[in-house]
């Protein structure tokens, strides 16, 4: 029998302190004190699982529930196992716990660096399937809060608010299977902002942004661009607006996973000050029914 087990994070000071210890031994990137970390983990969207052995936390998976135009999801955000406890199936078991928590409705996903075979193996063993193509993660780190003027392109960028705007955006994003109702409902969900770029009374494109508060940072994910091949000047204005929004909200960064063949998106992000980080694959899984807890 295994000498470790998986349980939910209990929200205690001890759990937060011990999780932070494992984070230090697996990533060492968490900028928060145990108290700050505990406050972040108390957010309602957090779904955190721990591995315990001999009365100590030896592994963790911080999951996030997100809502967006693609529907509710569980994100397997950060996974770490203490070096003394690796290779025993702990990461796999943590990922399976998150899949079971998806209550039959939400898809579960995580991004894994193409240079991290141990993590990829754990995701595969937990039943996740990788995306065929890898994406580059491009990141904009907010350094100053002074607002910057948006690039002049003859149009305006603002959050989607009205049905007529959702109608127009749905019409141009047709290939992305988005209806007016879905756009309107999605744009009103907590943590979701849909920006629209309008010029001469016509909506040219949209951008879906998700606000996330993880163990390592608070930021905006550029989740989707509508239509996916957006007109250059409108795209640039929306990227600049996303950065301004992150500044205004006191966030740390804006990130975007860019598929290899999206040259114009990559060029626009680089022009606006994003830096490439690493290459990742998206790993996805269906939720697991709770009764398969013994898997």
Ligand X SMILES: CC(C)(COP(=O)(O)OP(=O)(O)OC[C@H]1O[C@@H](n2cnc3c(N)ncnc32)[C@H](O)[C@@H]1OP(=O)(O)O)[C@@H](O)C(=O)NCCC(=O)NCCS
**Interacting residue ranges for ligand X, rule: CB under 6 A:** 26-27, 78-81, 86-92, 116-119, 121-122, 125
CB of 216 to ligand X, least distance (A): 10
**Contact in structure between 270 and 136 (CB atoms under 8 Å):** no
- The CA-atom distances, in angstroms, between 229 and each of 44, 190, 235 are 34, 26, 9
Residue closer to ligand X by CB (options 153, 283) is: 283
Residue from 256, 190, 189, 187 nearest 228 by CA: 256
In the block, residue with structure tokens 């163990």: 215
Q: What CA–CA distance (Å, rounded) separates 216 from 206? A: 28
Roughly what angle, to the nearest 10 degrees, separates helices 263-271 and 232-248?
A: 50
Residue closer to ligand X by CB (options 27, 263) is: 27
CB of 200 to ligand X, least distance (A): 45
Question: Where does residue 13 rank: exposed (0-12), middle (13-18), buried (19+ CB within 10 A)?
Answer: exposed
Residue closer to ligand X by CB (options 58, 192) is: 58
Residue closer to ligand X by CB (options 1, 177) is: 1
CB of 220 to ligand X, least distance (A): 20
Question: 142 Cβ partners below 8 Å, 6+ apart?
Answer: 243, 246, 247, 251, 252, 253, 254
Strand partners, 256: 138, 222
CB of 22 to ligand X, least distance (A): 8
Residue closer to ligand X by CB (options 120, 150) is: 120
CA count, 13 A, side-chain hemisphere, 147: 6
CB of 194 to ligand X, least distance (A): 28
CB of 72 to ligand X, least distance (A): 21
- The CA-atom distances, in angstroms, between 151 and each of 225, 250, 274 are 18, 22, 16
**Contact in structure between 62 and 74 (CB atoms under 8 Å):** no
Question: 178 Cβ partners below 8 Å, 6+ apart?
Answer: 69, 169, 170, 226
Residue closer to ligand X by CB (options 107, 116) is: 116
CB of 158 to ligand X, least distance (A): 35
Residue closer to ligand X by CB (options 93, 192) is: 93
């Amino acid at each position: 029998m295994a000498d470790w087990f998986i349980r939910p994070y209990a929200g205690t000071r001890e759990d937060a302190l011990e999780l932070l210890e494992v984070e230090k031994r697996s990533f060492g990137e968490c900028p928060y004190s145990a108290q700050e970390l505990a406050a972040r983990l108390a957010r309602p969207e957090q779904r955190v699982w721990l591995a315990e052995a001999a009365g100590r936390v030896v592994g963790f998976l911080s999951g996030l529930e997100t809502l967006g135009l693609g529907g509710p999801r569980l994100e397997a955000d950060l996974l770490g196992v203490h070096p003394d406890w690796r290779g025993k199936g702990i990461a796999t078991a943590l990922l399976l716990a998150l899949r079971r928590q998806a209550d039959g409705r939400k898809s579960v996903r995580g991004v894994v660096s193409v240079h991290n075979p141990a993590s990829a193996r754990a995701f595969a063993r937990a039943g996740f399937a990788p995306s065929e193509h890898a994406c580059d993660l491009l990141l904009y780190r907010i350094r100053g809060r002074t607002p910057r003027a948006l690039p002049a392109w003859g149009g305006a960028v603002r959050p989607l608010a009205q049905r007529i705007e959702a109608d127009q955006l749905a019409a141009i994003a047709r290939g992305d299977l988005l209806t007016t109702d879905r756009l309107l409902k999605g744009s009103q969900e907590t943590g979701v902002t849909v920006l629209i770029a309008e010029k001469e009374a016509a909506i040219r494109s949209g951008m879906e942004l998700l606000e996330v508060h993880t163990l390592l940072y608070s930021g905006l994910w550029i989740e989707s661009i509508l239509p996916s091949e957006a007109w250059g000047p409108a795209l640039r204005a929306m990227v600049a607006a996303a950065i301004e929004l992150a500044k205004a909200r006191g966030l740390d960064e804006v990130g975007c996973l860019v598929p290899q063949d999206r040259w114009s998106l990559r060029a626009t992000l680089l022009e606006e000050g994003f830096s490439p980080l690493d290459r990742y694959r998206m790993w996805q899984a269906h939720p697991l029914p709770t009764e398969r807890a013994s898997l």
